[in-house]
Structure 1
Amino acid sequence: MSPYAVLIRAAKFEPVPTVVRAVRRFIEKCCLEVGINPDTPVVLASELATNAIRHAGTPFKVTFVALEGRPVWIEVEDGSLELPRPRAAGPDDLGGRGFELIEALAAKWHTDRDLSKGNKIVCVTLKGDEEDGSGDGNHVDTACTEGQLTASAGQSDLHRGSFPRAVAGPWSA
């Protein structure tokens, strides 16, 4: 059975901290349109947008995708090829806990890099309702560009899942 698009929305943002509030409002509106609680999606999108601003420093696009019978996913695409590198945060560190939060709240996450375009997409899949089958992992296993439901051929570098906790790097939350 083909998935039916319930809602696919995308918005572009400038890399300034004040737009995180607009990202949260955008995701909240999308969630309310499809009838899901916006609390977790708003937190996840806020974290990804903050990372795009802090570490990529380029304009970025946030895409919300809801397909019938599949878990909702959120993508943040920025103009950097630098992959996220979660790190272990110390008890007094002000940052470094973003991907712990993402791993706790999302069903799964992954990144795609398009080397030909010089960008990357970080995608989080929301936890679904186990009773309706939307949490059974049937998400398209790669991030999609706006208007697509499958990955483009140019997305040649893909990473999914969990990074080791002790890895340090500049793309830490």
Structure 2
Amino acid sequence: MSTTVAEPRAWCVVVPHHARGAHVARHRLADELDSLISADRLDDAIAIAAELVGNAVRHAAPLPGDVIRVAWRLLPDDTLEIRVTDGGSSVGPQLRVAGPDSLDGRGLTIVAALSTGWGVERDGLGQCVWATL
């Protein structure tokens, strides 16, 4: 009797360090995952990716080439991991409390609410903000 181990499925897209980068990332993620996860979970994944890319555009430097790297993988245990890598910033990502009239400051709060976990990793290239669901 043999046992088959499912391999993770992974994707990566490099998007402009610009507001349209979130648009590109959302559509690519939706196209790749549409038939692999439920519609509700896909909606959450799209929202998380959009928030993370939007935060990278607003608050972080780009990677060389004026880009942001967006990667996601579907693990054998059905965990979806989304990773957004940028050139980093002097102040790391952190949850903020936004007032009812605030125009911004809700991005990571949305990510935290929709995900099972999130965090930040730094290396010599910049920083990666990740979320799982």
Conservation of the 8 A alpha-carbon contact between 1:30 and 1:64: no
Shift in alpha-carbon separation, 1:30–1:92, aligned structure 2, 3 A: same
C-alpha change, 1:74 and 1:45, in structure 2 (3 Å) is same
Q: Give the alignment's Cα RMSD to 1 decimal.
A: 1.9
The structure-2 alpha-carbon separation of the partners of 1:36 and 1:64, relative to structure 1 and needing over 3 Å to count, comes to: farther
Counterpart AA for 1:74: I
Distance in 1 between residues matched to 2:4 and 2:51, nearest whole Å: 31
Q: Which residue of 1 aligns with 2:110?
A: 101
Residue number in structure 2 paired with 1:11: 13
Give the deviation of 1:3 after TM superposition.
6.2
Q: Which residue of 1 aligns with 2:32?
A: 30
C-alpha separation in 1, matches of 2:32 and 2:87: 24
Residue 74 of structure 1 pairs with residue 82 of structure 2? yes
The 5-angstrom pairing of residues 88-127 of structure 1 reads 88-114=97-123, 117-126=124-133
Task: Say whether the 8 Å CA contact 1:3–1:69 is kept in structure 2.
Answer: no
Asked whether the equivalents of residues 86 and 127 of structure 2 are also in contact (C-alpha less than 8 Å), the reply is yes
Report the count of equivalent residues.
Answer: 124
Q: Is the CA contact (8 Å cut-off) linking 1:6 and 1:34 kept in structure 2?
A: no
What amino acid sits opposite 1:121 in the alignment? C
Instruction: Report the alpha carbon displacement of residue 18 of structure 1 after superposing the two structures with TM.
Output: 1.6
Deviations 1:134-170 (A, max 9, x none): xxxxxxxxxxxxxxxxxxxxxxxxxxxxxxxxxxxxx
Decide whether the 8 Å contact of 2:12 with 2:69 is kept in 1. Answer: yes
TM-score by length of 1: 0.66
Gaps of 5+ in 2: none
Gap runs ≥5 in structure 1? 127-173
Which deviations, in whole Å up to 9, do the C-alpha atoms of 1:31-56 show, x marking residues without a partner? 21423322110000000000011111
TM-score by length of 2: 0.84
Aligned-partner residue type, residue 124 of structure 1 = A
